[in-house]
Chains A and B, each alone.
Chain A
Amino acid sequence: MPDIITTTGLCKQYGKFLRVKDLDLRIPAGAVYGFLGPNGAGKSTTMKMLVGIARPTGGTISVFGKQVNSRNRLSILKHVGSLIESPSYYGHLTGAENLRIICVLKGVPDRDINRVLQIVRLENQKEKRVAQYSMGMKQRLGLACALLGNPKLLILDEPTNGLDPAGMQEMRELICSLPQQYGMTVMVSSHLLSEIDLIATNVGIISQGELVFQDRLSTLHEKSRTSIALRTQNNQTAEKILSGQGISCRRQDDYLLLPKLSDNELAGHIFRLFESNIGVVRIEERRKSLEDIFIELTGTAVSL
């Protein structure tokens, strides 16, 4: 699949502080690209640079295979929908009036308003002033605005922020459906690992302005290894016995961690420990969670 967005050595410096460092993003067509990172890692700054509302201090951005510059920026952005940080709206106008303004400025026909309102399920609220909308409705209006003109690429910065659990689930389902139903590529940022795990096909992890991981989500999952945790009444002797049988094990707290074994193999090893009069008091299967991997990669505990 060709890449819809590629950045090379993308940097953004504020004063002496380098907020984004040499970012090389590759976002394939048709993907839901989860852009993950702790708060303040540089996700929003990167997305702002992608839509041209912040200027990079170094590097290049290519969208749809074209290198973005000040001359072609708006013509490229005609095919990009974005929702950066928080939804933009005129509170004294109705939802439909808000969308009409963007429609006219984008050169999109008026009939698109009803289509996007249906997608975000706001068609019954379109004549209500946006100031009276709930946070979730405003967020959905922001998404409707981004969907105007059926863009090929959607850039959504923390779209579930401020939503209740039902609203979050609704938004996630909507995002997941966009590539299949409308052929869009979606880049969505979040500081919630669990959220990205539910919606993304590809993932990029940014930490302190640097990209520390970028690949398919399945590759990230492969990193999560299963192990067997064993607690005995004499871990030292047990470790010697198991090592003698060619099992690599390491100690962690009061446990011995063994690699994944078949049930028969494990039963055999446990039997041998019994034979040596070592009481086995706990046997647990442990899986390294995505969160553990995230912490390993970023050195920061992720917000959950």
Chain B
Amino acid sequence: MIKALAMEFQKIRRRKVWAIVAALISVQILLALWGVDRMDAHELSQGWMHFLYQFPILNSIMMPVMAAVVASRLCDIEHKGQTLKLLNTVMPAGRLFAAKFLCGALYMLAAALLQIIAIVMAGLVVGFEGSPPLDKLLYYLLFTTAVNLTILLLQQVLSLLFRNQMIALTVGIIGSFAGLFIMFFPQNLERFFLWGYYGVLMLVGMDWDRATRISDFYYMPVDWTGFSILAVMFCMIYIIGRSLFIRKEM
């Protein structure tokens, strides 16, 4: 498996997948940091919560696009060079599917880690009240990565099954719009849509006072039910997607 994973990285040499991840994450971090230097004392006291509220919202827009692009970059090299029929004679299709997923997953994990680093560094530089809430940041990393990987998995299945990458990329873009829109749905409905899970697994809620126009953030309990449903979705997509890929004839 390690050999297969190493070969996935070898295959994407000069494809600059890291550049796409870096560019999208940079844009996202710049958007998040917009106006941080103009925070007043009240906002600085809730600075960490502000970020943990804002990042999942931005994730719901950016991450589905990133997952779609990463999966497509990893899979379209196989379609372009008609290499699947050759690979099928030298390695099990299931291992190729897993290696490709792990390769993409490492990029998505790197993206989430970069976010955490950006949050902590920005908080410390601007002077948010209190030390970084490590437990909340770890939950954020876990939940963001879990949703990212499930979406990546779905994108990989589409990118592998359909030669035309526009199909997978269109699903990614629709998912990105849907992710944000679904946040306005009641939470029970939100749970039916994979792209809504950035919202379902948010750790921070917000009260907005219409009269004073002041927003107050507060920590919410972790939605383990939502996380469990997401885990089930992941397993189902993996099992069905892998089996469809294995059964596909070249």
Contacts and interface: CB of A to CB of B under 8 A. Distances in A.
The winner among B80, B86, B87 for most chain A CB atoms within 10 A is: B86
B91 A101 contact: no
A21 interface: no
B247 to A, nearest CB: 8
Contacts of A84: 85, 250
A52 B88 contact: yes
A105 B91 contact: yes
B82 A86 contact: yes
B120 interface: no
Contact of A90 (B4, B81, B91, B92): B81
A86 B82 CA distance: 8
Contacts of B114: none
Contacts of B220: none
Nearest to A74: B92
B83 A104 contact: no
Interface string A140-158: 0000010000000000000
Contacts of B80: 91
Interface in A87-146: 87-93, 97, 100-102, 104-106, 130, 145
The winner among A74, A80, A101 for most chain B CB atoms within 10 A is: A101
Contacts of A100: 10
B90 A90 contact: no
Nearest to A155: B89
A105 B7 CA distance: 8
A102 B3 CA distance: 11
A260 interface: no
A48 interface: yes
Contacts of B4: 105
Contacts of B6: 104
A54 B249 contact: yes
Nearest to B80: A91
Given A74-B90, A74-B92, A82-B89, A97 B82 contact: no
B249 A88 contact: no
A88 B77 contact: no
A82 B86 CA distance: 8
A101 to B, nearest CB: 5
B81 A52 contact: no
Interface stretch (B11-19, B40-48, B53-61, B231-239): B11-19
Interface in B78-133: 80-92
Contacts of B90: 74, 77, 102, 105-106
Contacts of A216: none
A97 B10 contact: yes
Contacts of A91: 80-81
Nearest to A129: B14
B83 A88 contact: yes
A90 B77 CA distance: 7
Contacts of B84: 88
A92 B77 contact: yes
A51 B83 CA distance: 14
A304 interface: no
B81 A105 contact: no
Nearest to A49: B249
A208 to B, nearest CB: 21
Contacts of B89: 51-53, 74, 77, 80, 82
A104 B7 contact: yes
B92 A97 contact: no
A93 B10 CA distance: 9
Interface string A64-83: 00000000001001001010
A172 interface: no
B83 A89 contact: yes
Contact of A92 (B3, B7, B14): B14
B250 A89 contact: no
Given A88-B81, A88-B86, A105-B7, A74 B91 contact: yes
A55 interface: yes
A152 to B, nearest CB: 14
Contacts of B13: 92-93, 97
A248 B249 CA distance: 56
A101 B11 contact: yes
Interface in B26-59: none
Interface string A38-54: 00000000001001111
Contacts of A92: 13-15, 77
B19 to A, nearest CB: 14
16 contacts: A48-B250, A51-B89, A53-B89, A53-B249, A54-B250, A84-B85, A88-B83, A88-B85, A88-B86, A92-B15, A97-B10, A101-B7, A101-B10, A104-B3, A105-B7, A105-B90
Interface of B: 3-4, 6-7, 10-11, 13-15, 77, 80-92, 249-250
Interface of A: 48, 51-55, 74, 77, 80, 82, 84-93, 97, 100-102, 104-106, 130, 145
